[in-house]
Amino acid sequence: MIPRRRNPRVPTDNTILDLIAGIVDTGTTLLMIATDAFQACQKAPGAKSDSTTGLLTVTESQFENMQSLFFQIGDQTLELTPNAQIWPRALNSTLDGEEGKIYLIVADMGSNSGSGLDFIDGFGFL
């Protein structure tokens, strides 16, 4: 069964996806979201794509200004704080990433919302 989720928002009060379907999967590392939502998440802090890892990166200043993502699932609203949206910096080497660089765990599913599966909440979300 695929749960329906409402209102991932970034920043607060800006809905980026509404009434979507997806799964929670502990075998997926990242928070995978539909392309249109991914683009909104990239634009909000001004994140850039890293050519080595394929992940989004932000500067320290951008990170300090990031806002929480909120996910409404049924009657529950879950908050993903800015710190929860980043890859653990101590593990950057496991991605072939640069030491001290800030990588986001939000990634592009490769299709726009409404195409069926709109999100995979991977281990980073849990």
Report, at the CATH architecture level, how domain 25-121 is classified: Beta Barrel (2.40)
Q: What is the pLDDT of residue 9?
A: 45
Q: What is the pLDDT of residue 124?
A: 83
The helix/strand/coil state of 39 is helix
Q: 111: closest CA among 58, 28, 38? A: 38
* Peptide bond preceding 11 in cis form (omega within 30 of 0): yes
Residues of the chain with pLDDT under 50: 1-7, 9-12
Q: What is the pLDDT of residue 4?
A: 46
Q: What is the pLDDT of residue 99?
A: 94
Q: Which amino acid is at 14?
A: N
Q: What is the pLDDT of residue 16?
A: 60
Q: Where are the domains of the chain?
A: 25-121
Q: What is the pLDDT of residue 63?
A: 95
The structure's pTM equals 0.80
Q: What is the pLDDT of residue 50?
A: 95
The helix/strand/coil state of 110 is coil
Q: What is the pLDDT of residue 74?
A: 78
Phi, psi (rounded to 5 degrees) for 38: -60, -45
